[in-house]
Structure 1
Amino acid sequence: MPSAMRMIDIAVNLTDGMFKGIYNGKQYHAADIPAVLARAWSAGVDRIIVTGGSLEESREALAIAEMDGRLFCTVGVHPTRCKEFEESGDPEQHFRALVSLAKEGIEKGKVVAVGECGLDYDRLHFCPSEIQKKYFEKQFELAAVVKLPMFLHMRAAAEDFSQILDRNKHRFCAGVAHSFTGSAEDRDRLLLFDNLFIGVNGCSLKTSENLDVVKGIPIERMMIETDSPYCEIKNTHAGINFVKTTWPSKKKEKYDRDSTIKGRNEPCLVRQVLEVVAGCKGVADIDQLSKALYHNTCRVFFPQDLDSAADALLESGSDAL
């Protein structure tokens, strides 16, 4: 599906088993990352950031990012997995291994952020809040050491998240709170941090209340993502009427490399996120919106390309938004 539009999907979990054809522990088809990427590039996705959520997963994310010049990745530990620091037997050594991996990835031009890190109080059965807070704070040290922005996770923890971010703002150059599903109050709390952006995906756009919250995120503070293979936009979601672009889809049991898989999100579908954002914000010029969001993403994760992104934005005119 050719497109002149340029989009960056800031959150793709290409390390997930679904992209290896494994669903709930059962193999349904062969690994298909090349086919998934081909659809993304043809849809106008210009770059993808592969998410790392543990030390081992960050290693895998870096290896995947080396497959294609348009792939990049993060290095960090997700809040629900922060027990791995202490379970390693030597938390400081575990931290040093993250620093080493991040530096290796930076040298290769692939690691663009520290993360995914933050707080998740919805899933405390995976990791208690005190351990989450301790190692969220520790990863600001990682960001300061390697001089990278942060890829952040905040779920049902806005107050503690904001307090920790405020306490560490001297070590925080910029970042994004991705997969945002919070309230208007949570949104406004995040927007108080000038160098913090908000990432939206299908999970951010489920209900009419979600759409109202997203409507209040300034375009200059927003990024888009799929968080695939999760967070697809479903037919039951409030924003579905704004979706204009679809792909052929088949069940995993009838796998076809030329079709998406029902129930598995993938980066080509970031176009749908863009369409719902445009619809709920009343933006008529979707190309202009995509350029603005592209510029935001370059500003944080690809500053070396900021001039060309800004030029494209100026050339298309700024009144459309």
Structure 2
Amino acid sequence: MHLLRRFSKMNSIPFIDIGANLTDPMYKGIYNGNKKHREDLEDVLERCWKNDLKKIIITSGSLQDSIDALKISSLSENLYCTVGCHPTRCDEFNKATSPEDYLNSLKNIIINNRPKIVAIGECGLDNQRLHFCSKLIQEKYFEMQLKLSEQFNLPLFLHCRDAAPTFIDILKRNSNCLKSGGVVHSFDGSLKDAEEIISLGFHIGINGCSLRTEDNLKTVSELPIDRLMLETDCPWCEIKQTHPSYSYVQTKFNSVKKEKYKEDSMVKGRNEPSTIKQVLEVLSSLKKEDPVYLGKKIYENTSNVFFKDK
């Protein structure tokens, strides 16, 4: 009976996915350059609305991504997007006519489409993938993008991988750009890192990649509820059966291999917004909190940062 009550409660929880990479070719049926099935983004979205998603923020990682994300956001009044350049793609600033021209193009997207744009990003630092872009270039254009938050009074959607000391130092040096707050998404750092990030006024975004190890679970269990947000980072960062967090997952979804695509099933290995329920289930177990209370509190956290004027 307890599980039945908990499942019925879960249906009353509103969700906001703060990080969905819906511009990814996988939602067009393309995997590693090969077409495996028809484009099915609208089916993915229909499925997530049925699973209590109220809003989705589509994350952008480049100028072209920002344009594409904005186009997808026009499909529903519940879709919004970010505008910015991912650290691994910051070479694009130097490949443009000029870095200032690239930045101005991002600014023009914001100016002309403000109702749909809720954050600057995804920007930050990534020391795990320096083969895509060097540290110095990442740091330079991270700092440049922070100024967009101040200029447009928009929160930040931030990325940090194995770069916390420099990342936090840059944020501290640019404290005047942090007044609108924001989130460090897909967090998988230490509790000390999280505490420093929170002290600067930011929230912590949790997805499957935040819950991959026992150390991750211990860290997440100690984070303050009023600083948490939920995301899927789809089509990546699903909670896998090999993760210790999987033992806390209650909601399961039908999925098939992409080669055996079915319209009414998820694609195995391709995450999507509907699985945000699983992230909450893990969190509520780790924090020993009622999922309804926790889910509604996180919804409130997210609304207050990204949707306070909407």
TM-score interval w.r.t. the shorter chain? over 0.9
The residue matched to 2:263 in structure 1 has which SS? coil
Partner of residue 256 from structure 1, selected from 255, 262, 265: 262
User: CA-to-partner distance for each residue in 1:155-183, whole Å, 9 max, x for gaps?
Assistant: 10000110111111111121100000112
How high is the TM-score relative to the length of structure 1? 0.92
The residue matched to 1:180 in structure 2 has which SS? coil
What's the CA shift for 1:189? 2.0
Partner of residue 39 from structure 1, selected from 29, 47, 64: 47
Alignment of 1:68-83 (within 5 A): 68-83=76-91
What's the CA shift for 1:184? 2.0
Which residue does 2:119 correspond to in 1? 113
Which residue does 1:314 correspond to in 2? none
The residue matched to 1:304 in structure 2 has which SS? coil
The number of aligned residues is 301
What's the CA shift for 1:147? 1.3
What's the CA shift for 1:145? 1.6
CA distance in 2, matches of 1:37, 1:140: 31
Tell me if 1:97 matches 2:102: no
Partner of residue 228 from structure 1, selected from 228, 234, 245: 234
CA distance in 1, matches of 2:76, 2:266: 21
CA distance in 2, matches of 1:289, 1:222: 10
Amino acid at match of 2:93: F
What's the CA shift for 1:263? 0.4
What's the CA shift for 1:188? 2.0
User: CA-to-partner distance for each residue in 1:63-97, whole Å, 9 max, x for gaps?
Assistant: 00011100000000000000100111311111111
CA distance in 2, matches of 1:304, 1:171: 19
CA distance in 2, matches of 1:183, 1:144: 28
CA distance in 1, matches of 2:61, 2:40: 21
Amino acid at match of 2:83: V
Which residue does 1:140 correspond to in 2? 146
Task: Report if aligned partners of 1:239, 1:280 keep a CA contact under 8 Å in 2.
Answer: no
Which residue does 1:187 correspond to in 2? 194
Which residue does 1:311 correspond to in 2? none
Partner of residue 175 from structure 2, selected from 150, 169, 187: 169
Which residue does 1:204 correspond to in 2? 210
CA distance in 1, matches of 2:294, 2:309: 21
Which residue does 1:317 correspond to in 2? none
Tell me if 1:296 matches 2:306: no
CA distance in 1, matches of 2:104, 2:189: 33
Task: Report if aligned partners of 1:153, 1:179 keep a CA contact under 8 Å in 2.
Answer: yes
How high is the TM-score relative to the length of structure 2? 0.95
User: CA-to-partner distance for each residue in 1:48-70, whole Å, 9 max, x for gaps?
Assistant: 00001000110000000011100
What's the CA shift for 1:304? 2.6
Partner of residue 30 from structure 1, selected from 27, 38, 48: 38
Alignment of 1:300-315 (within 5 A): 300-304=305-309
Amino acid at match of 1:127: C
CA distance in 2, matches of 1:4, 1:84: 43
Task: Report if aligned partners of 1:17, 1:23 keep a CA contact under 8 Å in 2.
Answer: yes
Tell me if 1:56 matches 2:64: yes
Amino acid at match of 1:179: S
Tell me if 1:286 matches 2:291: yes
Amino acid at match of 1:291: K
What's the CA shift for 1:140? 1.2
CA distance in 1, matches of 2:215, 2:266: 29
The residue matched to 2:154 in structure 1 has which SS? coil
State percent identity of aligned pairs.
48
The residue matched to 1:113 in structure 2 has which SS? strand
Runs of 4+ in 1 over 2 A off after TM superposition: 1-4
Unaligned runs of 5+ in 2: 1-6
CA distance in 2, matches of 1:27, 1:126: 25
